[in-house]
Every structure is written in structure tokens, then in C-alpha cells.
Chains A and B, each alone.
Chain A
Amino acid sequence: MSTGSVPKISVRGLEKSFGRKRVLDGVEFDVAAGESLVIIGGSGTGKSVTIKCILGLMRPDAGSIRIDGEETVGLGRAARARLMRKFGMLFQDSALFDSLSVWENVAFGLIQGRGMPRQQAREIALQKLAAVGLGPEVALLSPAELSGGMQKRVALARAIAAEPEILFFDEPTTGLDPIMADVINRLIVDLVQGLGATAVSITHDMVSTRKIADKIAMLHKGRIVWQGPTAEIDRTDNAFVDQFVNGRAEGPIEMEVRAA
């Protein structure tokens, strides 16, 4: 079989419940190699749960997740560890290790995950910091000494340090001012294209979505209610998309008060 015909990521019938609350209710989408998919949707619609299931941080109740055609649901610990080498992840709040310096954070996956010597990993970490616009002077600082935008850049450098095949971005611009958000969006586009990686992002920031997406999928009540190329988002007559993109209170989407 030609690998060109196999989606990099293929999700089918993904279901996940917490107690009686069904968060994912048959999510289905494909992401081609080198494509950047952005999943949009309101808070509590299951965006984070979707990528946590793909990453293996949560076990879905039902459904299939294939990476390069290989089923990943139910993988054993060793196989999951091997699969993780394909992934890089930017967390919403950066999730930097506060007990380590900036360069140690960036080099963490190389040293602990891949057994690379510290000196070699440090050089790579400095290169990746430079790639996100940070100089060597921040390398020895603690994450707590950095601004939110700089922390996000460090987290981005950490996500790309091992040059993963698939990158995940969880609300990459949340909490940033518009200028820093644009900087992060540009970095994401440049880095993903530079690595030739496949990207899956989740956000409710439409400015960010238009910047970084090749394809957009909208999640509502645990289901994909629309998906298509970025250019189509303004032309679709889908009522959910129309309400979300235009930020209207009236429409088929009713905001839930309680989180999932």
C-alpha cells in the first residue's frame, strides 16, 4: 500500500464519557501527512479530550485512532513509548517543568526520552530556542522568570526539539496579547512547514485558526458538525459554524454553564 494514500492520523467513531456526561460521541476525521488541521469549538465541546485520546493521555471508551495506518488504541506501554517519539505537544499553559532551567526544559525529551548526552542536547536546545526567537541569555533562567509569551516560545521549542512527525497545539494563543499571539501563530506555521510535520491544533481563536489551518473541523457536543478547507469556513451555510465564527449568542449552539 502506498503511504501517500494512508492518512497520517485517522480517527473513527471516537467516544469518551466521564460518568454520565458523554464528551465525545463518535468523532471522525482524517489528517493527511503535512496537513495542518485546526479543531474549533466552544469550551467543553471535547477538543482537549480529542487530542488527549490521540496522544494516549486518555483511553477512549470506543473508536479507532490510527497513526500512519497503525491502530493505537490499546497499545502496550512499550509500543506507546515508541509512538510518543512521533509526537510533539504544546500545552495550553506551557506546562514547563519549574524545577528545571529553560534549556533543560527544551532538551528534556532528548536527554530523558532518547538518552542523548547533555552537552549535545544543550546545543540542540539552544538552536531550537533561537528558532523561536530566544537568545542564549534565557537558557539558564527558570521558567518562572519568563513572561507568558516567552514561556509559550520555550514550550514551542521543547515541542519541536526532537523534530517530531506530528505536532499538537492546545490553545496556542490563549492568554497572549494580539501581537504575541501573531508571533506564536507565525512561529507555528514556520516551524510546522520547516519540519514538514503534520499538525493538529485546538483553539477557539478564529484569528489563529485562519493563520495556521489548512483544514478546519468544528466540534460540537462531541461530534464533528463541519469540516473543510480553511477557505470554505466563510462560505459554508452550516449554522453552527456561522454562529461560532461570527461570535453570536443566538443560534443552535447553547452555552453550557458547567464544565465537562
Chain B
Amino acid sequence: MIAFLASVGAAFLAFLAAAGRLAMFAGEALGAGLTPPYYPRLILRQIVYVGYFSLPVVGLTALFTGMVLALQSYTGFARFNAESAVATVVVLSVTRELGPVIAGLMVAGRVGAAMAAEIGTMRVTDQIDALTTLSTDPLRYLVLPRLLAGLVTMPALVLVADIIGVFGGFLVGTYKLNFNPVTYLTQTEQYLETMDVVSGLVKAAVFGFIVALMGCYHGYHSRGGAEGVGQATTHAVVSASILILLTNYFLTQAFFAQ
């Protein structure tokens, strides 16, 4: 019994230590942004990479999510003659939950993995140490631009995903389920509140930060050559995905729980 409690305690302490290291890493990287030099070109490059180049994968996912959502909700609501709620369900689901969560997960797979691999390779080939010896703070030069890009770009990406997702529902609703287009759009707009969209965008900012932080953190601390970089990449994607789902619950509760 004592051995069991000791192992639980050790695991809990290890978790707290890891959380502390992560918080210190994020704090040091963000703190580095308070003083010059600043690297606007690097931030812009990361914004383009995180946002623009993720558009196809996020857009496609959002489109099919909206389409499936319309089909599924129609099937369910038809059982108690509530088909007219389909448009409202689609728009609320996409803006509040599926837009930010699915975009977050897709960006974790695409961008978080790439960040971990790139920074991890720089770590195991001494390029990060080389930055330091060239009077350049690696946290300021490598990590901060990625964190800021994740933070500011994801809301824009999710806004586009929201529009595409709702459009996917509209396509299925009007072409397959025979909704009147004007009626569908009216119902989409009728019950949509500003908070529905804003909460999704806030979630997106948090998820973008999480994806970038996990990618940078695991890459920065990778070791042991190619295998270490591979592990860092896996850890970045898995931990970002879990944290996205976890924080999504708490953010939803904070926004909407009565």
C-alpha cells in the first residue's frame, strides 16, 4: 500500500516538476519579448507559416466537418420533427467547439510537429548553442516568434474555418436536405450571438499558444540525435492535442456554464 502511494506521489511530483519547467520556459520566452532586440521579420514569417500554409488543411477539415454535422443533426432531429434546428446546431457547434478544436488539432499535427522537429534538429546539431555564442538569445530568436505567431494567427485561421464550416453545412442543407437557402441562412444568423464566435476565437488563441509552446518546448529540450528529435515531435503533437481537449473543457465551462 505504501509502495503504491509512493509511486502515485512520485508521479504527481514529476507532473508538478514538468509543469513548472514548462511554465518557466514560457515565462522566460515571453519575458524576453519585453526588451529589444525584436525580430519582426521572424514573427511575420511564422505568422505566414502557421496561418497561411495551414489554410488548406484547416479549410478542408472545416468544410467536411460542417457537412457531416448537417447530415448527422438532420438525421437525429428528424426523429422528433426538429429539422429546422439544423442550421442553428451547425453554426453553434462550428463556432463554439468544432472550429477551434479541429483547427487546433490539425495545426498541432502540422505546425507543432514541424516546430519540434526544426528546433529539435537545431538542438542536437549544436545550432542552438551556436546562437548563444553569437550573442543571440535562442528563446528570443526561436521561441518567442513562434509563440506570438501561434497566439495571433489561430483566431484568424479559426474565423476562416468557421465560415467554411458553416458553408459546408449550408451546402448539404440546401443541396441534399432540400432546405430553402434563404431560410437556412436566416436560421443560421437568427440564434447566433457574438459570444458564440468570440468564445471560439479566444479558444483558438489559447490553442495556438499551446501548439507553439509544446512544439518549441519539446524541440528545445530534445536530445540524443535523430531518435530524440522523433520523440520530441511525437511528444509535441500528443501533449498539444491532450492539452487542447483539456483546456477546451475548462474554457467552455468558463464561458457558458451557468
B31 to A, closest residue via Cβ? A77
Q: Is the CB of B132 within 8 A of A57?
A: yes
Which parts of B120-154 form the interface with A (CB within 8 Å)?
122, 125-127, 129-130, 132-137, 141
- Inter-chain CA distance A91–B137, complex, in Å, is 18
Instruction: Knowing A112-B37, A112-B141, A115-B37 are in contact, say whether A91-B136 is a contact too (CB < 8 A).
Output: no
A112–B136 touching, CB < 8 Å: yes
CB-CB under 8 A for A95 and B132, given A77-B137, A81-B137, A115-B37: no
A114 touches B129 (CB 8 A): no
A95 and B127: CB pair below 8 A?
yes
Contact B130 A89 (CB under 8 A): yes
Q: Find residues 54-93 in chain A having any chain B CB closer than 8 Å to their own CB.
A: 55-57, 77, 81, 84-85, 87-89, 91-93
Q: Are A84 and B133 in contact (CB under 8 A)?
A: yes
Task: Determine if A29 is an interface residue (Cβ-Cβ < 8 Å).
Answer: no
**How far is B134's CA from A158's CA once the two chains are assembled, in angstroms?**
9
Q: How far is the CB of A60 from chain B (nearest CB, A)?
A: 16
Q: Are A109 and B129 in contact (CB under 8 A)?
A: no
Residues of A within 8 A of B129 (CB): 52, 55, 57, 89, 91, 95
Q: Give the shortest distance, in Å, between A167 (CB) and chain B (any CB).
A: 11
Within 8 A of B (CB), among A87-131: 87-89, 91-93, 95-98, 108-109, 112-115
A81 to B132, CA, bound (A): 8
Q: 8 Å CB contacts to A: which residues of B153-198?
A: none
Q: Are B135 and A92 in contact (CB under 8 A)?
A: no
B135 in contact with A109 (CB, 8 Å): yes
Using Cβ atoms and an 8 Å threshold, which residues of chain A touch B132?
55-57, 84
Instruction: With both chains docked as a complex, state the minimum distance between the C-beta of A50 and any C-beta of chain B, in angstroms.
Output: 14
Q: A112-B141, A115-B37 are in contact. Are A84 and B135 (CB under 8 A)?
A: yes
Cβ–Cβ contact A97 & B135, under 8 A: no
> In the complex, A214→B133 CA distance in Å?
24
Enumerate chain A interface residues (CB-CB to B < 8 A): 52, 55-57, 77, 81, 84-85, 87-89, 91-93, 95-98, 108-109, 112-115, 158, 162, 168
Listed by A's residue number, 24 A-B pairs whose Cβ atoms lie within 8 Å are: A52-B129, A55-B133, A57-B129, A57-B132, A77-B137, A85-B135, A88-B133, A89-B129, A89-B130, A91-B129, A91-B130, A92-B126, A93-B125, A93-B126, A95-B129, A96-B127, A96-B130, A97-B122, A108-B136, A112-B37, A112-B134, A112-B136, A112-B141, A158-B134
